[in-house]
Amino acid sequence: MAQMSLRERFWNRFTGKDVDMTPYGSTTTYGVVDLMDKCGYARPLADTDPVAMTELSYAGHEYGKFEWVKAMGWDIVGLSEAFGCKLGTPQKDIQYSIHGHPYADSIENIEFPSDYLERGRFPMFKEHFRLLKEKVGDDLVVFGETEGPFTCAANLVGTEQFMKWIYKKPENINTVLEVTREAAVAAENFAFDNGADYYVFAEPTAGPALLRNKFFEKHTQPILKQVVERAKGPVVLHICGNTDSIIDMMCDTGVAGISIEEKADMKRAVEIAHQKGVKVFGNVATATTLFNGTPEEVYQEATQALENDTDFLCPGCGIAPPTPLENLLQLKKARDDYFT
Amino acid sequence: MGKEERREELLKELHEGVVEFEEDQVKEAAQKVLDEGFNAYDAVMNGLAAGMEEVGELYDQQEYFVPELLMCADALYAGLDILQPHITLEDLGDKPKGQVVIGTVQGDVHDIGKNIIKMMFEVAGFTVHDLGRDVPLEKFVEEQLRTDSEIVALSAMMTTTMMGMEKVIKMIKEKNPDVAIMLGGAPVTSDTADLFGADGYAESAGNAVQEAIKMISRLREMQNK
């Protein structure tokens, strides 16, 4: 098959049509120090400045050879931030994190503010989208990402308290989720209105590493389903850890794709997902292999992911800041060799 | 009812209260232990801690998840609050087991796992210096030197923050090579722990305390040579 444009390759795979080869890129954050050094725009500026954020987005393609690019920064706190969560101070190799929970003491006044998209970094993201779209034109697929409604809810009241509410005040869980659901819908459609081709929700707090599957089924899945139904474009769901036991439930949220880590069984995930018309992103290990491993180990694991039929060859989670660029490039090398 | 029988009964109430996260049951049983003149240390170790041990097993078997662990921890602390003031130095033997500095590294605010490990250390008789979450790296070094703790336990939940651990290990080992450093947290593996120069790695809460006890005995052996 003749070589496809990067956009065509991505979309064909995403929509189940033929491709010349499996697309390679990252559907999670890539605030990588090597990329910052290459493009000359580093965090913390690249967290708050639309030009710097855009340049680092593009550096993923230019230097990391990713075949699509990420908008909306290098952390997963965007929704919570706009609700007033206090954030930590980012450094070149440390991303934004949640430091304060605005509704820890009471959720009596919790509501979805009508000017939500004027809050946090959304106004900056708007300008960043404009610059990024100007830069990549129609050549590259662009995606936006924030935390999902469940992770956001835990951030608003404190994860520990949120988890105890499962037993102590189950009614509070839904009250908060109904508010964060509105934020998630606003954020995804904000991204689509500003040119995103797809949107990722990262739900690190909702996975089976923390909660029993029954809970996911009862609380998380219905909320995600509503968020996906109301989206103006396709949504991808990323959950960390070993997600083997919830792959079907992740797919049943109605998403177009799921993103999984190396702890999950890619082959089995693909079998389940494809029956439901869902694509799978992943799953080269970020901590052990990409950051810690040799280029040869990355190459081997990437080849393994391709053999396990991943639809999009990607890191399994957010890429660790000190990951060597040389290791990232092994993903592309493995993919190119696999399809020659 | 004989005294021994009654003791067993109260221990069972404490144990079950922790496992079934019945905070009130634990409080009542703990109070009865004191009122009826039983040994508080025995009640902590063979009632509360034994219950928490079963909780650890239930967690490993994926019967319990984090919300249940947190609820059990609340029940355990409710009992500890009542019993701990009545534990005497005599109960503890010649000296406490050891001291631990614990915290979640800078940039990382996930402290649920750290808090559970802290609790396991406490019930096992360690003195714990908890620095909290998002701890500046140099703070671990300062606190270790200040308290002369044998162990520093570092936690990180994100691939993006675990790199701080390597820096802390270097800083501490430079000042005091005899300190045992252990790592834990979702993205950390025994390979990462080796690479960063740590002495121990804990995959789960139960395992953390056993690993710590092993590390301390290794240290003591080294010091006695």
Domains of chain A (ranges; CATH) run 6-19+29-259+271-280+307-312 (3.20.20.210)
Residue B220, pLDDT score: 55
Q: Is the CB of B192 less than 8 angstroms away from the CB of A29? A: no
Angle between helices B112-123 and A159-168 (to 10 degrees): 80
Least confident of A204-208, B11-15, B65-69, B213-217: B213-217
Amino acid code (one letter) for A337: D
Amino acid code (one letter) for A256: A
User: In B, which residues are within 8 Å of A317 by CB distance?
Assistant: 159, 187
Q: Is the CB of A318 less than 8 angstroms away from the CB of B186? A: no
Q: Which of B119, B159, B163, B166 to mutate to test the interface with A (most CBs of A within 10 A)?
A: B159
Residue B105, pLDDT score: 87
**Residue A312 near residue A27, CB atoms below 8 Å:** yes
Among chain B residues, the shortest Cα distance to A287 is held by B159
| pLDDT above 90: residue B113 | no
Residue A117, pLDDT score: 98
Residue B92, pLDDT score: 64
How close, in Å, is residue A293 to chain B by CA atoms? 10
| More confidently predicted of A313 and B168 | A313
Q: Is the CB of A163 less than 8 angstroms away from the CB of B70? A: yes
How close, in Å, is residue B97 to chain A by CA atoms? 29
Residue A50, pLDDT score: 98
Domains of chain B: residue spans and CATH: 3-86 (1.10.1240.10), 99-224 (3.40.50.280)
Residue A31, pLDDT score: 96
pLDDT (average), residues A137-154: 97
Residue A268, pLDDT score: 98
Q: Does B110 touch chain A (CB under 8 A)?
A: yes
Least confident of A187-196, B18-27, B104-113, B134-143: B104-113
Residue B55, pLDDT score: 86
Q: Is the CB of A320 less than 8 angstroms away from the CB of B108? A: no
ipTM of the complex: 0.85
Q: Is the CB of A288 less than 8 angstroms away from the CB of B188? A: no
Residue B212, pLDDT score: 64
**Coil, strand or helix at A309:** coil
Among chain B residues, the shortest Cα distance to A29 is held by B160
Integer CA distances (angstroms), A169 to A56, B155, B210, in order? 43, 29, 35
| pLDDT above 60: residue A48 | yes
pLDDT (average), residues A31-51: 97
* Identity of the highest mean pLDDT range in A124-128, B100-104, B214-218: A124-128
pLDDT band at B79 (very low <50, low <70, confident <90, very high): very high
Residue B115, pLDDT score: 82
How close, in Å, is residue A285 to chain B by CA atoms? 10
Express as a percent the part of chain A with pLDDT over 70: 100
Burial string for A230-254 (b: 16+ CB within 10 Å, else e) reads ebebbbbbbbbbbbeebbebbbebb
DSSP B95-147: S-S-EEEEEEBTT----HHHHHHHHHHHHTT-EEEE--SSB-HHHHHHHHHHH
User: In B, which residues are within 8 Å of A163 by CB distance?
Assistant: 66-67, 70, 112
Among chain B residues, the shortest Cα distance to A320 is held by B160
Q: Is the CB of A164 less than 8 angstroms away from the CB of B110? A: no
User: In A, which residues are within 8 Å of B161 by CB distance?
Assistant: 94-95, 97
How close, in Å, is residue B134 to chain A by CA atoms? 8
pLDDT band at B164 (very low <50, low <70, confident <90, very high): confident
Q: For residue A119, count CB atoms less than 10 angstroms from its CB and return exposed for 0-12, middle for 13-18, buried for 19 or more.
A: middle
| pLDDT above 80: residue B213 | no
Q: Does B71 touch chain A (CB under 8 A)?
A: yes
Q: Show the CA angle centred on residue B35, arms to residues B31 and B37, nearest 5°.
A: 120
In angstroms, the CA A188 to CA A324 distance is 31
Residue B208, pLDDT score: 65
Residues in chain A: 340
pLDDT band at B211 (very low <50, low <70, confident <90, very high): low
* Identity of the highest mean pLDDT range in A93-102, A118-127, A286-295: A118-127
How close, in Å, is residue B29 to chain A by CA atoms? 22
Chain A positions contacting chain B at CB under 8 Å are: 29, 31, 88, 91, 93-95, 97-99, 159-160, 163-164, 166-167, 208-212, 215, 240-241, 286-288, 291-292, 317-322
* Identity of the highest mean pLDDT range in A208-217, A254-263, B87-96, B184-193: A254-263
pLDDT (average), residues B37-55: 88
| pLDDT above 60: residue B222 | no
Express as a percent the part of chain A with pLDDT over 90: 91
For A237, the enclosing helix (H) or strand (E) is: strand A235-238
Least confident of A113-122, A124-133, B50-59, B167-176: B50-59
| pLDDT above 70: residue A186 | yes
Q: Is the CB of B160 less than 8 angstroms away from the CB of A167? A: no
Q: What is the pLDDT of residues A287-340, one digit of tens each?
A: 889 998 999 999 999 999 999 999 999 999 999 999 999 999 999 999 999 999
Residue B93, pLDDT score: 62
Residue B205, pLDDT score: 59
Residue B58, pLDDT score: 87
Dihedral sign, Cα of residue B103, residue B104, residue B109, residue B112: negative
How close, in Å, is residue A164 to chain B by CA atoms? 6
pLDDT (average), residues B54-77: 87
pLDDT band at B200 (very low <50, low <70, confident <90, very high): confident
| pLDDT above 60: residue B224 | no
Mean pLDDT score of chain B, rounded to an integer? 84
Among chain A residues, the shortest Cα distance to B196 is held by A292
